[in-house]
Chain A
């Protein structure tokens, strides 16, 4: 029963946080309100704006793709500096790690709001926010992947007199590639959802369309937009699975 104290702590945290958010079971007696709201107002989906909605979906996908790919390209070389088993110097290691942690700690919505005065409304502030945030995320993820690599191939490349670059390209990269793909697709999915939320601050795409329609009580349009989001996320998920299967 060594786990008993841990279980106890989890219980205390659950009660403490639940109390804090004012959870009250009796409120859920009126769950019927939500069911009625959806069933009476959200169906059938309104397809009248279908063309615009599809274009908005593509916009959202492009925003998420561009920002995650750009972030990956920037973070990838930097994350080698932030990996203890590759970094050429302690100050580079600590410095790059600190930068990753700092930029990851800034919420994306704050970054987007900061960029609006410069870039105006539209996708760009959201894209910048996503790039910056994802550099931090990829940097941390990839550098920790590098640190978790099997030492063997690294040792082998060093032992034949290979350079640090050889170690990275032949010792580390091939081991890491499948992991990078699977993490990338996960981050792409997260970025799509963030893009939707950033629609609230005028980032365009499906998120903004959904938010606007919701504010104008056009719930049947919202239904169609939600369906498109599901299509998009599912498509990304299947593409990711397909590529993961290929890269082994």
Chain B
């Protein structure tokens, strides 16, 4: 269970806080889509969960462990178990697809070994399997620059598979992809939910994808939760609350 209580974040130099007293409980096995306009606080919220962004106040507890109270070492070991997919894929530039997938295990490797690029056979094998799973086994030796957007996001998903996480976070993973590719990526993520039982928390721009894949929808506006319910409950009235007209 992921329990967020009283989460608040204000960036220095901003007038309004990005998050205002957010409380939210996500049960294991849920697929939560977070909707909201740009600047509603979606990215901040999702990044607070693995502390890519440091929250000001509030607590986040995952499976009984307080994320907000963790030191650097504990945080590293927590992050191994939490996958993250980004809008711009965030692959490591100028490196091979295989190295990018192996990167998913950085948290589990001794620094000296991985920093010199001496990955074990086991790591390589796992990475190849993960690549096969997203249908990119033949591209292992390619550099990530040679890949299309959709292929890059699949490499990012293969990287997540290497972590074998129990929780997957995503910050608009399909926002820079075309509709067909978006659908395909969403189906991969849906598969992780159904077949591997991953708990999933995604920021999405696309309401239809959210309705099609999520089991629960959270609406954020002005740093507050304005909707929380199953996709069936998300009607025009609710959408207006999440996406208020100026």
Contacts and interface: CB of A to CB of B under 8 A. Distances in A.
B86 A177 contact: no
Contacts of B89: 152
Interface in A192-233: none
Most chain B CB within 10 A, of A152, A155, A162, A175, is at A162
Most chain A CB within 10 A, of B90, B106, B108, is at B106
B54 to A, nearest CB: 12
Contact of B79 (A158, A175, A248): A158
A159 B103 contact: no
A152 B90 CA distance: 5
B52 interface: yes
Contacts of B84: 156, 159-160
A161 interface: yes
Interface in A154-206: 155-163, 165-166, 169-171, 174-175, 177
A161 B77 contact: yes
B106 A153 contact: no
A177 B94 contact: yes
Interface residues of B, number: 30
B106 A170 contact: yes
A248 B80 CA distance: 31
B94 A152 contact: no
A160 B86 contact: no
A161 B108 contact: yes
Interface in B94-114: 94-95, 103-108, 111, 114
A156 B90 contact: yes
Given A155-B90, A159-B84, A160-B80, A174 B95 contact: yes
B184 to A, nearest CB: 21
B159 interface: yes
B79 A159 contact: yes
A156 B77 contact: no
A192 B243 CA distance: 61
Contact of B91 (A156, A161, A162): A156
B93 A174 contact: yes
Contacts of A152: 86, 88-90
Contacts of B91: 153, 156
Given A165-B115, A174-B95, A160 B103 contact: yes
B78 interface: yes
18 contacts: A152-B89, A152-B90, A153-B91, A155-B52, A156-B91, A157-B92, A157-B106, A159-B50, A159-B82, A159-B84, A160-B84, A160-B107, A161-B78, A161-B107, A162-B103, A165-B115, A166-B111, A177-B94
